[in-house]
Amino acid sequence: MQRDIGIHMKGGVITERDSEFCTVRLRAPAGIFTADQLRGIAALAKKYGNGEVHGTTRQTLEIPHVKGDQLKKLAAALEKNKTPVGSEKDEVVNIIACPGNTRCKFANIDSVSLAAKIDTKLFGKEMPVKMRIAIAGCPNACTSPMLNEIGIIGRVRPVRTTERMCTGCGNCVYYCKEDAIKIRNGISVLDESKCVQCGVCVQSCHYDLIRPEHRHFLITVGGRRGRHPKIGRSLLTVETEEQAMFVVEKIVDWVYRRAWSGRLLSEQLDDIHFDKFREEIVKKVPEAQPVVDEGSQPKMEV
Ligand code: SF4
Ligand code: SF4
Ligand code: SF4
């Protein structure tokens, strides 16, 4: 069978156990497909594959069982369907994001918009190590951002104002899952050391006594899943989407220039000393606030 080497080398084309066949992974920032795109994918899976479509862990779809000599035609058809061939090698792979503030009531940021911007600038960039990027709109971290080489989490710092009298109703206490608010002497008291900055208490107070301050993007690096799972470390925070995008670009640029293949990014960051790495990134993004308190590491529930 004649293979098209060019298309076969694309990261989203994965040779199957039976090497006559390939699985073709799609590019889908934030895992969003329109109904029309899905109809197109279904038709292409019937025409070029075995009629199945597989949902992947990186929020995308793949078409299994495609013959090598059909790859080029399928890639062109996918392009026309606006769901081009994706990426899986040592590249910036599909960007994961939760619905963020477009749909989720807990979100502090627009995860989908940031995912689209990162995808436009960086998707498919060849790298010395695979770069997985995931975004979560709040510390619930539904997309497990801290298990990716770059993780982004939307947070907000709650501040208990004293402008008006707290009724001691306990609504904020009820909604805080971290046990960070207590009622003492009839009024609420917030313990910042327990707070993960989810912002839920802000929404819970009908009297606006808990104000959102410093809505921000926490950026983590060096996480990964797989055979040696590792939780990413908190690097810094920034306040705008543009700054978050800029930080991601700077990290990717650093990895592109300074990292080498065959070794976990987290170990490479250890080698150069994590603090030094943070210093280098912060120097390039003056608005960034380094996260030096390890106690503020994102908590993870898996
Ligand atoms: S991470 Fe937070 S904002 Fe995103 S879907 Fe989960 S709960 Fe909603
Ligand atoms: S922001 Fe979240 S963790 Fe912090 S006090 Fe409010 S509800 Fe609790
Ligand atoms: S919800 Fe508001 S009024 Fe009620 S205890 Fe909390 S801060 Fe006080």
Does 98 sit in the ligand 1 pocket, CB within 6 Å? yes
Does 141 sit in the ligand 1 pocket, CB within 6 Å? yes
Q: Cα–Cα distance between 242 and 88 in angstroms, integer?
A: 26
5-80 is a CATH 1.10.645.10 domain: no
Q: Is the pLDDT of residue 288 over 60?
A: yes
Q: Cα–Cα distance between 296 and 220 in angstroms, integer?
A: 11
Closest alpha carbon to 56 in 105, 91, 81, 93: 93
Which string of b and e fits 182-218 if b means at least 16 CB within 10 Å?
eeeeeebebeeeebbbbbbbbebbeeebbebeebbbb
Under 8 Å CB-to-CB from 18, ≥6 apart: which residues?
A: none
pLDDT at position 2 is 46
Rounded alpha-carbon distances, angstroms, from residue 145 to 21, 62, 120, 166, 291: 32, 22, 19, 36, 16
pLDDT at position 94 is 96
Q: How far is the CA of 214 from the centre of ligand 3 (A)?
A: 20
Compute the C-alpha angle 21/25/145, nearest 5°: 140
302 — pLDDT class (breaks 50, 70, 90): very low
Compute the C-alpha angle 85/101/29, nearest 5°: 5
Structure tokens at 56: 């992947």
Per-residue pLDDT tens for 210-257?
999 989 999 999 998 888 899 999 999 999 999 999 999 999 999 999
pLDDT at position 166 is 93
Q: How far is the CA of 154 from the centre of ligand 2 (A)?
A: 13
| Residue ranges of the chain assigned to CATH 3.30.413.10 | 96-156+214-296
| Mean pLDDT, rounded, of the chain | 91
Nearest CA residue ID for atom 4, ligand 1: 137
3-class SS string, 70-93:
HHHHHHHHHHHCCCCECCCCCEEC
Helix H or strand E segment including 282: helix 274-284
pLDDT at position 9 is 62
Helix (H, G, I), strand (E, B) or coil at 164: coil
Which DSSP letter does residue 232 get? Answer: P
Q: Is the pLDDT of residue 163 over 80?
A: no
296 — pLDDT class (breaks 50, 70, 90): very low
Does 106 sit in the ligand 1 pocket, CB within 6 Å? yes
Does 235 sit in the ligand 3 pocket, CB within 6 Å? no
Closest alpha carbon to 117 in 240, 201, 232: 240
Q: Which of the ligands is closest to the CA of residue 190?
A: 2
Does 180 sit in the ligand 3 pocket, CB within 6 Å? no
Q: How far is the CA of 180 from the centre of ligand 2 (A)?
A: 6
| Residue ranges of the chain assigned to CATH 3.30.70.3340 | 5-80
Q: Cα–Cα distance between 154 and 127 in angstroms, integer?
A: 26
pLDDT at position 4 is 53
What is the mean predicted confidence (pLDDT) over 51-66? 97
Class of domain 96-156+214-296: alpha beta
Nearest CA residue ID for atom 6, ligand 1: 142
The residue whose CB lies within 8 Å of the most ligand 1 atoms, and thus the one to mutate among 96, 106, 202, is 106
Global pTM value: 0.92
Place of tokens 């066949």: 21
Q: How far is the CA of 278 from the centre of ligand 1 (A)?
A: 27
Q: Is the pLDDT of residue 41 over 70?
A: yes
Q: How far is the CA of 168 from the centre of ligand 2 (A)?
A: 16
pLDDT at position 147 is 96
Q: How far is the CA of 19 from the centre of ligand 1 (A)?
A: 39
For residue 2, the one-letter residue type is Q
Structure tokens at 180: 């960070």
Q: What is the CATH architecture assignment of 158-208?
A: 2-Layer Sandwich (3.30)
Q: How far is the CA of 160 from the centre of ligand 2 (A)?
A: 11
| Residue ranges of the chain assigned to CATH 3.30.70.20 | 158-208
Does 201 sit in the ligand 3 pocket, CB within 6 Å? no
Atom nearest to 172 CA in ligand 2: 7
